[in-house]
Structure 1
Amino acid sequence: MNPLLPKLQDIDNRTLLDRVEDAMLPLINLVFLLLLFFIVAGHLTDDPLPALPGTAQEGESSAPAADLVINGDGQLRVHQSPVSREELASKLPKPDADKPLRIAADKGVTMDDLESVLRLLEKAGYRKVDLLTEPSL
């Protein structure tokens, strides 16, 4: 008889549970090896984020068209010309229910300055206001 094959009486002496456990052991080992492979492979492949279309190059500045610009020192500008708070309502376009007033505020503007300007605009009849922001990079 071939020495690699177990003797018939050795197989008969073992219970069914022992034989099933022996048959399942290679399958369990294979599953664990596959699990380890996919864990390692998942950490090795680090896909970079795709480049967004139409992003501006460094140094390029495309400021959005704002009706009112508030500088960091609280200075107001309408169409690139400085305006005082008293003459603000007369220099801005007339309030329109369909088109909101666009305001661009510098990041140095305090909330108190912005709130005072919004109160002036509310008194002047502006009900819709868009606050333009820049995305952080």
Structure 2
Amino acid sequence: MMLLPKPAARANQLDDNMIPLINIVFLMLIFFMIAGQLTASELITIQPPTSQQQSPIEEHDAVLLVSATAVLALDDALVEANALADSLQRKIADSKDPQTFKLLVKTDANVMATELTDLLKQVRAAGILKVSLATQSLTDRHD
């Protein structure tokens, strides 16, 4: 009878158990990258006014956010109320076609109508003729 030497214990046996775990982690990462949906959060939290008529939001060149406390944000940058017209004129100058520049205004439902009117006067003074006001339907309201 011939004696065979005992096989030496593998030194990297612990590493072999980690490979399936790493594969599972990468598969989960790929799944969440494909299945997940990322949306950009807005700089200012607002609750838009409700409307019974809804039309789809058209493409726009800039977004103006107006909070209930009269804080303004133009394309994710805070803007002072007295500098709004200048900021809008810079946006118009940077656009491809200044004549078709479209502004989307997302305002909080608690903004007074007089404040909104003053704001829209500044928008018109900047030279913007196409303005849309974002609203939400009664069924989408998140009170």
Normalised TM-score (structure 2): 0.47
User: Does 1 or 2 have the higher relative contact order (CA < 8 Å, sep 6+)?
Assistant: 2
TM-score normalized with structure 1 length: 0.48
